[in-house]
Structure 1
Amino acid sequence: MTLSLPADPSHALRLTGVVPELLSAIEGGASRFRPVQSAILFVVDGLGAHALGANAGYARFLASRLTKKSVATTVFPSTTAAALTSLLTGTDVGEHGIVGYRAREPETDRALNQLTDWGPGLLDPLTWQRSASLLTADRGYVVSRPEYAGTGFTAATMRDAGFHGERDLDARVDAAAHWARSHPGSLVYLYAPELDGAGHKHGMASDTWLATLESVDAAARRLHAAAGPDVGIALTADHGMIDVPRERHVLLAEGDPRLDGVRTIAGEPRMLHLYAEPGMTDRVRSAWAAEESRSWVMTRDDAIAAGLFGARVSPEVRDRIGDVLVAARARIAYYDDRLADSAGQKMVGQHGSLTADERTVPLLRLGAFAD
């Protein structure tokens, strides 16, 4: 089956290429970035390039640096677990194996959360995530919120890099700038999850989200001023976001024919991994055919052949991918309404699919990288 998929911007760097380019700039090799003594990778979770442009009045510093060429394309699914892993390993989803927000563990048939379900009896961060981190102990340093210290996902993606936690964003900015200035040759990963959290809870049209965008813009300006003349800063994101109002939810209730033959549902509301009962993949695919007017519906083989998980999908990763994938094209979100816990249906801002709003993110040059 030939899929009709949206084209990525031809000038956009793939998210997997960002850290290798930064390391090359530090080492004085060929790079999209000019040579620097140290570099800071500032990741603003959930900041899409389209949203930044559309809300330029609330982010004048960042928006003034946004051009058609200053963007990157994130991975599929466009979700934090998959994207941050690709960013920090430089490898595609089909190699590192973090195939979405929730995915099936083939050995147990459990659908596990790949941000939180780590540890004894769950996912092993040293084996489930299959690629080496580019944040090595000798040069990588992480500045993030303190609650992420020592988590399984941190271990899976950042391995042995040093970690410094600060709850306040300005304090994180100051710590990152200080470390980069005082440790030549270092790559500092600075993480800001606040905008993503505001979007999920309140939506991107909310006063809370806009105020958070203003604070992120102020933090970027502060970092730009504090980094010093020999420290380059690249600001990017793991994914963008769109608002999905509650009346646009598609609820999958008991007896829904779209659930016939489906053994397990994972992924997230805008990108479902559907795991079929043995021999039922074609039936599940057919049951979802009516959704093609508002979603991309494809089998695992279709998605792999289209390169959605990268040029190569490891045999160990293949069975983690759903037998059928449903990626929302329209402003909708799918929910399994049979579940007792419906808290996820309160979420406003969403992501995970293939739309430009979700997959095109800024890649801005600040500090010594600035033009």
Structure 2
Amino acid sequence: MTLMLPAGPAQARSIAGVAPDLLASLRGESETLPPVSSTVLVVVDGLGALPLRAHAGHARTLTAAMSKKDAAASVFPTTTAAALTTLLTGEMPGAHGLVGYRVRDPRRDVLVNQLTEWEGAGIDPLTWQAQPTVFERAVSAGHPAFAVGFAGHAHSGFTHATLRGASFVPAGRPAERVATAWDLAERNPGALVYCYLPETDKAGHKHGVDSAEWVAALEDIDAALRLTVPPGVGVLVTADHGMVDVPAHRQVVLDESDGWHDGVRHIGGEPRMLHVYLEQDADAAAVLGRWRRDLEGLADVLPRDEAIAAGLFGPEVSDAATARIGDILAIARGNRALYDGAAEDQRGRNMVGQHGALTPEEWRVPYLRFGGFAA
């Protein structure tokens, strides 16, 4: 079988083009964005275009700027580590190398959480993610660069991999982060400012996209973005991915007693998109056949070479990225999730909102222009 990326509307753009376009707008050379004195990139983590439209009454600021064409395509897998790195480098996962949530470090043959385990796993952000960030490119061109986010994120390995080149500015609630971003852009002509808003992603994981908690988080962000954009500043609001709600009865548990781990050394990724790493002496064809048979109708299962050939990770996949991709990929269909029953930590089964696969809810994200970009 060959799995292709989902089709989007004819006007759809990729989030991989956001960073280069923002830099071009500062030079007056963008084909899609007007020239501006400074620019702000606002990323609302986990906010899909379809869930946003479905809750338009709770996000009047965002949806007032949103037409049918104001959407962009995320990347595969639709997870923060992969998609946010694409947004901040302009490169697809096959090039920047963050190809999933938990992937194998080939050097040590262990799974590493790409958001939180850099230091403990001894991974160097400068080599694991070697592509220049949009902030490094901005600074090299003479533009000030800033990243506004939680103080606790300032020195993480993931921050060093994706935000290097930017001066990190901590701020609290969404309204404070937005106000700080607007102020930095106004006081620093030519600046590129990044503002990270993860509240919808957190509420969605814990309570679900249709929950009162998720709606409250969306309303809080929408209210923050009502703040008037300073003259000459262009603001682009987008997301890394969306999400779907997975009820408990849609969970598929891969129990060791049922033979799911025969020939399997590690199961990484996340419940909506598993990286399956095989033992060196495993019969790869037999394992692939078994997974395909037993997950028929529940997930798309394909070997690494087919996934790469289909362009799932982008047009070019480096040797380093290839070594991190599972021998087999299992991509959940619909609103199902696949859980490793042998994993010590089963807390993930409490998550309601999830992402990583290829549904339109996960794949399509808003692409909204404010301030100088809305002109």
TM-score by length of 1: 0.96
Residues 173-213 of structure 1, C-alpha deviations (whole Å, 9 max, x = no match)? 11100100111111100000111000001111111111111
Corresponding position: 1:156 with 2:161: yes
Summarize the alignment of residues 131-280 of structure 1 with structure 2, pairs less than 5 Å apart. 131-136=131-136, 137=139, 138-222=143-227, 225=228, 227-278=229-280, 279-280=282-283
How many residues end up aligned between the 2 structures? 368
Q: Paired residue for 1:108?
A: 108
Read off the aligned partner of 1:302 and give its amino acid letter: E
Of 288, 292, 297, 1:289 maps to 292
2: distance between equivalents of 1:188 and 1:152?
A: 20
Unaligned runs of 5+ in 2: none
The answer to whether the 8 Å contact 1:119/1:125 transfers is: no
Q: Paired residue for 2:302?
A: 298
Q: Paired residue for 1:339?
A: 343
Read off the aligned partner of 2:157 and give its amino acid letter: G
Read off the aligned partner of 1:174 and give its amino acid letter: A
Q: Paired residue for 1:51?
A: 51
The answer to whether the 8 Å contact 1:95/1:130 transfers is: no
SS in 2 for 1:334: strand
Residues 40-59 of structure 1, C-alpha deviations (whole Å, 9 max, x = no match)? 00000000000000111111
Q: CA RMSD in A?
A: 1.3
SS in 2 for 1:34: coil
SS in 2 for 1:289: helix
Structure 1 stretch 250-259 or stretch 202-211: which is displaced more? 250-259
1: distance between equivalents of 2:326 and 2:90?
A: 23
The answer to whether the 8 Å contact 2:292/2:300 transfers is: no
TM-score by length of 2: 0.95
Poorly superposed stretches of 4+, deviation over 3 Å? none
SS in 1 for 2:225: helix
Q: Paired residue for 1:82?
A: 82
Deviation at residue 121 of structure 1 after TM alignment: 4.4
2: distance between equivalents of 1:17 and 1:59?
A: 25
SS in 1 for 2:18: helix
The answer to whether the 8 Å contact 2:13/2:73 transfers is: yes
1: distance between equivalents of 2:279 and 2:68?
A: 45
Residues 100-132 of structure 1, C-alpha deviations (whole Å, 9 max, x = no match)? 110000111101000011126421111111211
Deviation at residue 259 of structure 1 after TM alignment: 2.6
1: distance between equivalents of 2:53 and 2:236?
A: 18
Structure 1's 4 and 231: CA in aligned 2 closer, same or farther, altered over 3 A?
A: closer
The answer to whether the 8 Å contact 1:40/1:231 transfers is: yes
2: distance between equivalents of 1:15 and 1:249?
A: 30
1: distance between equivalents of 2:2 and 2:218?
A: 39
Corresponding position: 1:7 with 2:12: no
The answer to whether the 8 Å contact 2:254/2:338 transfers is: yes
The answer to whether the 8 Å contact 1:244/1:332 transfers is: yes
Structure 1 stretch 113-122 or stretch 47-56: which is displaced more? 113-122
Structure 1's 3 and 121: CA in aligned 2 closer, same or farther, altered over 3 A?
A: closer
SS in 2 for 1:204: coil
1: distance between equivalents of 2:252 and 2:120?
A: 35
Structure 1's 322 and 65: CA in aligned 2 closer, same or farther, altered over 3 A?
A: same
Deviation at residue 30 of structure 1 after TM alignment: 3.0
Read off the aligned partner of 1:272 and give its amino acid letter: L
Deviation at residue 285 of structure 1 after TM alignment: 1.2
Read off the aligned partner of 1:79 and give its amino acid letter: T
Structure 1's 281 and 10: CA in aligned 2 closer, same or farther, altered over 3 A?
A: farther
1: distance between equivalents of 2:25 and 2:5?
A: 33
Residues 7-28 of structure 1, C-alpha deviations (whole Å, 9 max, x = no match)? 2333111111011111101111
Summarize the alignment of residues 12-91 of structure 1 with structure 2, pairs less than 5 Å apart. 12-91=12-91
1: distance between equivalents of 2:56 and 2:184?
A: 30
Unaligned runs of 5+ in 1: none
Question: Quick one: percent identity of the two aligned structures?
Answer: 50
2: distance between equivalents of 1:41 and 1:35?
A: 15
